[in-house]
Amino acid sequence: MKKVESSTEQNWCSNGNGPLSPPYLFAPSQTPSLSPYQNLYSVISFIIFLCSPLLRSRAAKMAMNDILKTEDIKKALDAFKAADTFDHKKFFEMVGLKSKCADDVKKAFVALDRDNSGFIEEEELKFVLKGFATDGRDLTDKETKAFLKAADKDGDGKIGMDEFTALVLE
């Protein structure tokens, strides 16, 4: 009995028409109505498969403008235009991020983590305002270090998603 089963499997795999296609699909006289639907399903699955990386990257990297209001971003950036005036608490409040849900704050984190390392490193933090608007200024070294110190609770020298969320929503 076992031998028969395994030889059937062997036929399925080696019929030359695809590894997982059951043999009845290629015998239209027995089940004529199944084949077209099965093919349509395969085509749709294949299209979804092709599009899924695009959909995923779109979901993963939202622009700040999708999360926050452009005019709020502009106001907040203007308020801290002068070097060494940056205050992350006031900034997150003005930009509207503080009043967002944790999910939106996480999306903002993903947008700021430019190299997708899962962390905002010191060099990314320096350019954090550019993540809100392309004309955002660079933070000074002093501002970058103060920002990092405030967020980096575990002391590994970079900001994780949880650290960022806690900092914004605290």
Q: What is the contact surface with Ca ion in residues (CB under 5 A)?
A: 113, 115, 117, 119, 124, 152, 154, 156
Q: Which is nearer to Ca ion, 57 or 117 (CB)?
A: 117
Q: Which is nearer to Ca ion, 66 or 154 (CB)?
A: 154
At residue 119, φ and ψ (nearest 5 deg) are -140, 155
Which distant-in-sequence residues (6+ apart) come within 8 Å of 88 by Cβ? 147, 150, 151, 167
Q: Which residue is nearest to Ca ion (CB)?
A: 117
Q: Which is nearer to Ca ion, 115 or 170 (CB)?
A: 115
Q: Which is nearer to Ca ion, 94 or 125 (CB)?
A: 125
Q: Which is nearer to Ca ion, 92 or 164 (CB)?
A: 164
Instruction: Tell the smallest beta-carbon distance from residue 170 to Ca ion (Å).
Output: 15
Instruction: Tell the smallest beta-carbon distance from residue 98 to Ca ion (Å).
Output: 20
Instruction: Tell the smallest beta-carbon distance from residue 72 to Ca ion (Å).
Output: 25
Q: What is the DSSP string of 22-69?
A: -GGGG-TTTSTTHHHHHHHHHHHHHHHHHHHHHHHHHHHS--HHHHS-
Measured between alpha carbons, how far is 160 from 120 in angstroms, rounded to an integer? 7
Both tokens assigned to 56? 């995923």
Measured between alpha carbons, how far is 93 from 100 in angstroms, rounded to an integer? 10
CA atoms within 13 A on the CB side of 122: 12
Instruction: Tell the smallest beta-carbon distance from residue 155 to Ca ion (Å).
Output: 7
Instruction: Tell the smallest beta-carbon distance from residue 123 to Ca ion (Å).
Output: 8
